Amino acid sequence: MSLSRTQIVNWLTRCGDIFSTESEYLTGLDREIGDADHGLNMNRGFSKVVEKLPAIADKDIGFILKNTGMTLLSSVGGASGPLFGTFFIRAAQATQARQSPDAGRALSDVPRWRGRRNQSR
C-alpha cells in the first residue's frame, strides 16, 4: 500500500488532534502507573510537529518523517520522546526521497529494531 505525502501530512495532523483531545485521558492513565505526564508530553510534541508541517508539507516523505522524529526527540520527555522519535527517524530512512513510499517498506524494519533491543540486554 503506497502512502502519499498528503496522507502522511494528514495523518500527522490527525495525531496532533488526537493527542490534544486525549491529553488529559492519557495523563490520567499515566497517573496510575507513572508520573502523570504522558498525555502532556505527547500533546506538546505533536503540537510542535503540527506547527512545523505547513513549512515542510511540500518536502519528500522522508524529510517530513525525519523532521517529525527530530521534533519529538527534542520536545517529548521521558521514554516516549526517544521511542516515538526513533520510530519516525527509522521510517524516514526507509522512505528517503520517495514521494509515495510503500507503507510496508516503511515498517519492514520494525522486527529488526526489536532484535537490536534484545541483543543489547
Q: Domain span at residue 45?
A: 5-119
Contact 11, 18 (CB under 8 A): no
Range 78-86 average pLDDT? 96
Of 114, 12, 108, the C-alpha closest to 63 is 12
Tell me the per-residue pLDDT of 35-80, one tens digit each, with 9 for 90 and over. 999 999 999 999 999 999 999 999 999 999 999 999 999 999 999 9
pLDDT at 120: 46
Lowest mean pLDDT among 18-27, 61-70, 88-97, 104-113: 104-113
More confident residue, 60 or 2: 60
**pTM for the model:** 0.81
Does the structure show a pLDDT above 70 at 95?
Answer: yes
- Looking at the 3D structure of the chain, how many domains does it have? 1
In Å, how far are 54, 60, 90, 95, 96 from 105, measured between CA atoms? 26, 16, 11, 7, 11
CA pseudo-torsion sign 63, 65, 70, 75: positive
- pLDDT bracket for residue 121 (50, 70, 90): very low
Contact 2, 101 (CB under 8 A): yes
Instruction: Identify the CATH number of the domain in which residue 92 sits.
Output: 1.25.40.340
